[in-house]
Amino acid sequence: MPRLRPRTLAAAVAMPLLFLASPAWAKAACGSSGYAYAGLGASDRAYGVATHLQTIGTPEVLSGHVAGWVGVGGPGSGPHGTNEWIQVGFSAFPGTSLSSLYYEVARPNGVPQYHEIESGLPAGTARKVAVLELAGRRGWWRVFVDDRAVGDAVYLPGSHGAWRPLATTETWGAGSFVCNRFSYRFGSVAVATRPGGGWQSLTRHYTFENHGYRIKRLTAATFLAGIL
Protein backbone atom coordinates (compact mmCIF):
# COMPACT_ATOMS: atom_id res chain seq x y z
CA MET A 1 0.00 0.00 0.00
CA PRO A 2 1.11 3.59 -0.42
CA ARG A 3 2.91 4.82 2.67
CA LEU A 4 2.85 8.37 3.97
CA ARG A 5 6.44 9.60 4.24
CA PRO A 6 7.27 11.32 7.56
CA ARG A 7 7.56 15.10 7.14
CA THR A 8 10.75 15.32 9.13
CA LEU A 9 12.87 13.08 11.28
CA ALA A 10 11.44 14.87 14.30
CA ALA A 11 7.97 13.63 13.39
CA ALA A 12 9.18 10.06 13.84
CA VAL A 13 10.67 10.48 17.35
CA ALA A 14 8.83 8.42 19.99
CA MET A 15 7.21 10.08 23.03
CA PRO A 16 8.82 9.53 26.48
CA LEU A 17 8.66 5.96 27.82
CA LEU A 18 6.79 7.12 30.93
CA PHE A 19 3.88 8.20 28.76
CA LEU A 20 3.96 5.02 26.69
CA ALA A 21 3.70 2.92 29.84
CA SER A 22 0.47 4.48 31.10
CA PRO A 23 -2.23 1.93 32.11
CA ALA A 24 -4.72 3.16 29.50
CA TRP A 25 -2.34 2.41 26.66
CA ALA A 26 -1.19 -0.88 28.22
CA LYS A 27 -4.76 -2.18 27.92
CA ALA A 28 -5.15 -1.16 24.27
CA ALA A 29 -5.79 -4.03 21.87
CA CYS A 30 -3.83 -2.48 19.04
CA GLY A 31 -0.26 -1.60 18.26
CA SER A 32 2.51 -1.86 15.70
CA SER A 33 6.08 -0.72 15.29
CA GLY A 34 5.61 -0.60 11.51
CA TYR A 35 2.66 0.12 9.23
CA ALA A 36 -0.93 -0.94 9.90
CA TYR A 37 -4.09 -0.25 7.88
CA ALA A 38 -7.87 -0.49 8.13
CA GLY A 39 -10.08 0.35 5.17
CA LEU A 40 -11.61 -0.66 1.86
CA GLY A 41 -10.01 -1.58 -1.45
CA ALA A 42 -11.85 -1.51 -4.78
CA SER A 43 -12.16 -4.91 -6.45
CA ASP A 44 -11.99 -3.36 -9.93
CA ARG A 45 -9.63 -0.96 -11.63
CA ALA A 46 -10.78 2.64 -11.80
CA TYR A 47 -9.59 6.11 -12.81
CA GLY A 48 -10.01 7.87 -9.50
CA VAL A 49 -11.46 7.75 -6.01
CA ALA A 50 -13.29 10.29 -3.84
CA THR A 51 -14.83 10.50 -0.38
CA HIS A 52 -16.17 12.93 2.20
CA LEU A 53 -13.43 12.46 4.81
CA GLN A 54 -13.76 13.58 8.44
CA THR A 55 -11.53 13.39 11.50
CA ILE A 56 -13.46 11.76 14.35
CA GLY A 57 -12.18 12.54 17.83
CA THR A 58 -8.72 13.81 18.65
CA PRO A 59 -5.74 11.85 17.25
CA GLU A 60 -3.20 10.74 19.85
CA VAL A 61 0.06 9.85 18.15
CA LEU A 62 2.73 8.36 20.39
CA SER A 63 5.27 7.72 17.66
CA GLY A 64 5.39 7.96 13.85
CA HIS A 65 2.16 9.18 12.29
CA VAL A 66 -1.48 8.41 11.52
CA ALA A 67 -3.50 9.23 8.44
CA GLY A 68 -6.78 8.70 6.63
CA TRP A 69 -6.65 8.93 2.86
CA VAL A 70 -7.88 7.89 -0.58
CA GLY A 71 -5.50 7.07 -3.38
CA VAL A 72 -4.23 4.78 -6.10
CA GLY A 73 -0.99 2.90 -6.74
CA GLY A 74 1.43 1.68 -4.10
CA PRO A 75 4.80 0.02 -3.46
CA GLY A 76 5.79 -1.95 -6.55
CA SER A 77 2.90 -0.59 -8.61
CA GLY A 78 5.02 1.42 -11.05
CA PRO A 79 7.05 0.38 -14.11
CA HIS A 80 9.45 -2.52 -13.42
CA GLY A 81 8.16 -2.85 -9.86
CA THR A 82 8.99 0.70 -8.80
CA ASN A 83 7.00 2.55 -6.17
CA GLU A 84 4.34 4.83 -7.58
CA TRP A 85 1.23 6.37 -6.01
CA ILE A 86 -0.88 9.45 -5.38
CA GLN A 87 -3.04 10.00 -2.28
CA VAL A 88 -4.84 12.77 -0.40
CA GLY A 89 -6.24 12.94 3.13
CA PHE A 90 -5.65 13.93 6.76
CA SER A 91 -2.48 13.23 8.76
CA ALA A 92 -1.38 13.71 12.37
CA PHE A 93 1.98 13.52 14.15
CA PRO A 94 3.31 13.37 17.73
CA GLY A 95 3.14 16.46 19.91
CA THR A 96 -0.16 17.89 18.68
CA SER A 97 -3.87 17.08 18.86
CA LEU A 98 -4.48 18.81 15.52
CA SER A 99 -4.44 17.38 12.01
CA SER A 100 -3.17 18.45 8.61
CA LEU A 101 -4.66 18.06 5.15
CA TYR A 102 -2.03 16.74 2.74
CA TYR A 103 -1.36 14.98 -0.51
CA GLU A 104 1.56 12.78 -1.42
CA VAL A 105 3.04 11.64 -4.72
CA ALA A 106 5.56 8.87 -5.32
CA ARG A 107 7.15 8.69 -8.77
CA PRO A 108 9.24 5.76 -10.06
CA ASN A 109 12.78 5.77 -8.62
CA GLY A 110 12.08 8.96 -6.68
CA VAL A 111 11.53 9.90 -3.05
CA PRO A 112 7.82 10.30 -2.13
CA GLN A 113 6.87 13.96 -1.85
CA TYR A 114 4.59 15.08 1.00
CA HIS A 115 2.68 18.33 0.40
CA GLU A 116 0.80 20.03 3.26
CA ILE A 117 -2.37 21.79 2.10
CA GLU A 118 -3.76 22.94 5.48
CA SER A 119 -2.58 22.57 9.08
CA GLY A 120 -3.93 23.12 12.58
CA LEU A 121 -7.25 21.39 11.86
CA PRO A 122 -9.36 20.41 14.91
CA ALA A 123 -11.30 17.21 15.43
CA GLY A 124 -14.45 17.11 13.34
CA THR A 125 -12.90 18.79 10.30
CA ALA A 126 -14.34 17.43 7.04
CA ARG A 127 -13.26 17.78 3.43
CA LYS A 128 -14.27 16.15 0.17
CA VAL A 129 -11.04 14.70 -1.20
CA ALA A 130 -10.28 12.95 -4.48
CA VAL A 131 -7.57 11.84 -6.87
CA LEU A 132 -8.51 11.59 -10.54
CA GLU A 133 -6.87 10.78 -13.84
CA LEU A 134 -7.46 13.70 -16.19
CA ALA A 135 -9.61 13.37 -19.29
CA GLY A 136 -7.56 13.45 -22.48
CA ARG A 137 -4.24 13.20 -20.58
CA ARG A 138 -3.36 9.53 -20.31
CA GLY A 139 -1.46 8.82 -17.07
CA TRP A 140 -1.81 12.37 -15.71
CA TRP A 141 -3.43 12.72 -12.27
CA ARG A 142 -4.71 15.56 -10.11
CA VAL A 143 -5.69 16.01 -6.46
CA PHE A 144 -9.00 17.69 -5.65
CA VAL A 145 -10.25 19.13 -2.35
CA ASP A 146 -13.88 20.25 -2.13
CA ASP A 147 -14.06 19.88 -5.94
CA ARG A 148 -11.15 22.28 -6.52
CA ALA A 149 -7.83 21.22 -8.04
CA VAL A 150 -4.86 21.33 -5.65
CA GLY A 151 -1.24 21.36 -6.76
CA ASP A 152 0.03 20.52 -10.23
CA ALA A 153 -1.05 17.69 -12.49
CA VAL A 154 1.27 14.70 -12.01
CA TYR A 155 2.38 12.21 -14.67
CA LEU A 156 2.55 8.64 -13.38
CA PRO A 157 3.78 6.31 -16.15
CA GLY A 158 1.90 3.06 -16.62
CA SER A 159 -0.98 4.15 -14.39
CA HIS A 160 -3.72 4.45 -17.03
CA GLY A 161 -6.37 1.84 -16.30
CA ALA A 162 -3.96 -0.10 -14.08
CA TRP A 163 -4.89 0.56 -10.44
CA ARG A 164 -7.59 -0.34 -7.92
CA PRO A 165 -8.34 2.56 -5.58
CA LEU A 166 -8.05 2.49 -1.78
CA ALA A 167 -9.88 4.33 1.01
CA THR A 168 -7.99 3.62 4.20
CA THR A 169 -6.55 4.66 7.52
CA GLU A 170 -2.85 4.23 8.18
CA THR A 171 -0.61 4.24 11.22
CA TRP A 172 3.18 3.92 11.47
CA GLY A 173 4.98 3.28 14.75
CA ALA A 174 8.41 4.49 13.58
CA GLY A 175 10.06 1.42 15.10
CA SER A 176 8.43 1.78 18.53
CA PHE A 177 5.60 -0.64 19.36
CA VAL A 178 2.76 1.77 20.13
CA CYS A 179 -0.99 2.04 19.86
CA ASN A 180 -1.60 5.31 18.03
CA ARG A 181 -5.20 6.41 18.56
CA PHE A 182 -7.28 7.84 15.71
CA SER A 183 -10.58 7.51 13.89
CA TYR A 184 -11.79 8.76 10.51
CA ARG A 185 -15.15 8.72 8.73
CA PHE A 186 -15.21 7.95 5.00
CA GLY A 187 -18.51 9.10 3.54
CA SER A 188 -19.99 8.02 0.20
CA VAL A 189 -16.79 6.56 -1.26
CA ALA A 190 -16.97 6.75 -5.07
CA VAL A 191 -14.77 5.64 -7.95
CA ALA A 192 -14.31 7.18 -11.39
CA THR A 193 -15.33 4.89 -14.26
CA ARG A 194 -13.41 6.93 -16.85
CA PRO A 195 -10.67 9.58 -16.92
CA GLY A 196 -12.20 12.87 -15.86
CA GLY A 197 -15.12 11.41 -13.92
CA GLY A 198 -18.09 9.14 -14.43
CA TRP A 199 -18.35 8.78 -10.65
CA GLN A 200 -20.17 5.79 -9.17
CA SER A 201 -20.59 4.60 -5.60
CA LEU A 202 -18.00 2.00 -4.56
CA THR A 203 -19.90 -1.29 -4.44
CA ARG A 204 -17.40 -4.03 -5.33
CA HIS A 205 -14.68 -4.00 -2.70
CA TYR A 206 -12.82 -5.92 0.00
CA THR A 207 -11.94 -4.92 3.57
CA PHE A 208 -8.67 -5.12 5.51
CA GLU A 209 -7.84 -4.62 9.20
CA ASN A 210 -4.34 -4.83 10.73
CA HIS A 211 -3.00 -4.99 14.30
CA GLY A 212 -6.23 -4.19 16.13
CA TYR A 213 -7.40 -1.32 13.93
CA ARG A 214 -10.94 -1.83 12.69
CA ILE A 215 -13.62 -0.60 10.33
CA LYS A 216 -17.34 -0.21 11.02
CA ARG A 217 -19.64 -0.17 8.02
CA LEU A 218 -22.43 2.41 8.17
CA THR A 219 -23.76 1.99 4.61
CA ALA A 220 -22.46 0.21 1.51
CA ALA A 221 -19.97 3.01 0.77
CA THR A 222 -19.65 4.81 4.13
CA PHE A 223 -17.58 3.56 7.06
CA LEU A 224 -15.59 4.46 10.16
CA ALA A 225 -12.04 3.23 10.60
CA GLY A 226 -9.38 3.35 13.31
CA ILE A 227 -9.79 2.70 17.04
CA LEU A 228 -13.51 1.90 17.34
State residue 4's pLDDT score.
Answer: 72
Q: Using one digit for the tens of pLDDT, what is the confidence trace for 29-41?
A: 798 899 999 999 9
The domain tally of the chain equals: 1
| DSSP, residue by residue, 196-210 | TEEEEE--SEEEEE-
Q: Is residue 14 part of a domain?
A: no
Q: Is residue 147 part of a domain?
A: yes
**Measured between alpha carbons, how far is residue 25 from residues 54, 160, 181, 221 in Å?**
24, 44, 9, 31
Domain extent, residue 81, equals: 29-226
Q: How far apart are CA 67 and CA 100, in angstroms?
A: 9
Write down the pTM of the prediction.
Answer: 0.88
Q: Using one digit for the tens of pLDDT, what is the confidence trace for 152-202?
A: 999 999 999 999 999 999 999 999 999 999 999 999 999 999 999 999 999
Q: Which residues of 45-80 are buried (b: 16+ CB within 10 A; e: fewer)?
A: ebbbbbbbbbbbebbbbbbbbbbbbbbbbbeebbee
Q: Is residue 211 part of a domain?
A: yes
Q: Is residue 91 part of a domain?
A: yes
CATH number of 186's domain: 2.60.120.200
Q: Is residue 20 part of a domain?
A: no
Q: Is residue 2 part of a domain?
A: no
Q: Is residue 69 part of a domain?
A: yes
Q: Is residue 39 part of a domain?
A: yes
